[in-house]
Structure 1
């Protein structure tokens, strides 16, 4: 099966060239455009979620031989949650190659956390079916490497709570969150939220729920502050 130049380029960025490119096409096909001749990525997303969880669970288990189940569980949740998958999908520019129906394109589907995260999990499943578990595992470990390396207790907790603790520990007030934009139809809005600290530091993030946008903004600002401290 032949695929377009956009998917050829995506394979290079992903770091896996498919023996069966049809699997990649299916992984990137949202239900809004699927039909009789084209299957959606929903079944692949189900499988990819399990491949991702097993890979991350094993990596955490091996990385810290003294951690209890109570310590490992929140770390795993931090690595496999929707927001993390969506962040990595954005790093791969996955939204640019998503196959969407007209309604989803109009409502900003290429930016939605849910669509990006689900599609990335579907891509993981496609790699697993195309080349086996070890190849899929290696792909996941490479894509998640930086997050695994810097994972600490703070990363496993709610980003808004961590940012609030960071600010108050430095004598600042509670971070302020402000909705700065909303696009899409009423039934599928996309929110942009800005978080602001007393010291003037700000960051914006976009997601398909206000809560998710707040979490993404808090996490991104924490990463930014960490880079400055480093």
Structure 2
């Protein structure tokens, strides 16, 4: 019965009852008390923690030049309800939920909170059934595309922000100066300073001159309290 869902998930459970538990909403469990059917709430609790460490580890090792504040923002954006319900929809999780009659009749299969909670419960079920490596492989499927898109679309343009501030004062001159290079050709690092009227107001490193300029502008903005 659940083979199609397992195919969508990319994981086959040794213990099918774990998956069934992950799909069981509290409304269904309450109606089926006499059958000792537990809800997915405990799994959701565990899944939230597992998702948090996997997403943090992914960001730390895959995006080594992203500053801590941005890492925190990115992780929060992935583990929020809006993102999780989107992941749940990609694997058609709503089709397989076990809901009570009330939730079934009021559109529970499409409710964002229910889908997000069930997705976290599935992560926990995979973690218990196959260990951390299995849960990590599952979450990484979603992390790859999610973080790539958010880093591309959500990255601040620090150079433009700094330029707009400087332009408010006529006659101010902003200049980026390459002051150093290090490392082999295949992994070169650049050091750039940003100067305002020949005074250094920030410095940054990066794998390209463009990235180093962005980091220099970021430091300048930070020192300005922006």
Query: What range is the shorter-chain TM-score in?
Result: 0.5 to 0.7
**Matching residue of 1:32:** 27
Rg: which structure is higher?
2
**Matching residue of 1:70:** 69
1:70: Cα distance to partner?
Answer: 1.1
Residue correspondence of structure 1 range 10-89 to structure 2 within 5 A:
10-34=5-29, 35-36=33-34, 37-89=36-88
1:68: Cα distance to partner?
Answer: 2.3
Contact residue 41 and residue 121 of structure 2 kept, 8 A: yes
Distance, in Å, in 1 between the alignment partners of 2:39 and 2:28 is: 8
1:24: Cα distance to partner?
Answer: 0.1
Distance, in Å, in 2 between the alignment partners of 1:71 and 1:13 is: 31
Tell me the number of residue pairs that the alignment of Structure 1 and Structure 2 aligns. 152
Contact residue 81 and residue 112 of structure 2 kept, 8 A: yes
1:156: Cα distance to partner?
Answer: 7.9
In structure 2, stretches of 5+ residues that fail to align are 157-226
Distance, in Å, in 1 between the alignment partners of 2:150 and 2:59 is: 10
RMSD of aligned Cα (Å): 1.6
Q: Which moved more, 1:106-115 or 1:64-73?
A: 64-73
**Matching residue of 1:152:** 151
**Matching residue of 1:135:** 134
Distance, in Å, in 2 between the alignment partners of 1:52 and 1:155 is: 21
Contact residue 75 and residue 153 of structure 1 kept, 8 A: no
Superposition TM-score, scaled by structure 2 size: 0.64
SS in 2 for 1:151: helix
1:49: Cα distance to partner?
Answer: 0.6
Distance, in Å, in 2 between the alignment partners of 1:116 and 1:149 is: 23
Contact residue 88 and residue 115 of structure 2 kept, 8 A: yes
1:108: Cα distance to partner?
Answer: 0.5
**Matching residue of 1:214:** none
Distance, in Å, in 2 between the alignment partners of 1:156 and 1:91 is: 25
Distance, in Å, in 1 between the alignment partners of 2:5 and 2:119 is: 12
Provide Cα deviations, 1:23-50, integer angstroms capped at 9, x if missing partner: 0000000000102421100000000011
